[in-house]
Amino acid sequence: MSTASTRQDVKIYDKLYINGRWVAPAGSNMIEVTDSTTEEVMAQIPEGAAADIDSAVSAARAAFVSWSQTSKDERAKYLEAIAAGLAARRDEIAAVIASEVGMPLPLATAVQAGLPAMVMGSYAKLLSEYSFEEQVGNSLVVREPVGVVGCITPWNYPLHQVVAKVAPALAAGCTVVLKPSEVAPITAFILAEIIDEVALPAGAFNLVTGLGAVVGEAMAAHLDIDMISFTGSTRAGKRVSELAAQTIKRVALELGGKSASIVLDDADFEKAVSSSVGSCYFNSGQTCSAHTRLLVPRSRHTEAVEIARATAEKFTLGDPREGRAKLGPLVSAAQRERVLGYIKKGIEEGASLVTGGAEKPEGLDKGYFVRPTVFANVRTDMTIAQEEIFGPVLAIIPYESEDDAVRIANDTVYGLAGGVWSGDEERARRVARRLRTGQVDINGGKFNPLAPFGGYKQSGNGRELGKWGLEEFLETKSIQL
Nearest-angstrom CA–CA distance, 74 and 296 = 52
Tell me whether residue 254 is one of the annotated catalytic residues. yes
Name which of 187, 194, 232 is nearest 92 in CA terms.
187
Q: How far is CA 227 from the centre of its chain?
A: 18
Task: Find the helix packing angle between 158-172 and 186-197, rounded to 10°.
Answer: 40
Question: How many residues in total does the chain contain?
Answer: 481
- Rounded (5°) CA angle 89-289-341: 105
Which residues have a Cβ under 8 Å from the Cβ of 36 and sit 6 or more positions away? 99, 100, 101, 102, 328, 329, 330, 331, 332, 367, 368
**Annotated catalytic residue within 288, 388, 464, 472:** 288
Whether 338 and 349 have beta carbons less than 8 Å apart is answered as no
Residue 358 CB neighbour total at 10 angstroms: 17
**Annotated catalytic residue within 193, 217, 254, 464:** 254
Whether 216 and 187 have beta carbons less than 8 Å apart is answered as no
Q: Which helix (H) or strand (E) holds 46?
A: strand 41-46
Nearest-angstrom CA–CA distance, 380 and 25 = 48
From the number of C-beta atoms within 10 Å of its C-beta (0-12, 13-18, 19+), residue 90 rates as middle
Residue 302 CB neighbour total at 10 angstroms: 12
**Over 226-292, what HEC string results?**
CEEEEECCHHHHHHHHHHHHCCCCEEEEECCCCEEEEECCCCCHHHHHHHHHHHHHHHHHCCCCCEE
Nearest-angstrom CA–CA distance, 392 and 327 = 9
Nearest-angstrom CA–CA distance, 427 and 420 = 9
- φ and ψ of 131, to 5 deg: -100, 125
The Cα diameter of the chain in Å comes to 74
DSSP state for residue 212 in the 8-state scheme = I
Which residues have a Cβ under 8 Å from the Cβ of 448 and sit 6 or more positions away? none
Name which of 44, 42, 48, 43 is nearest 28 in CA terms.
48
Active-site positions? 254, 288
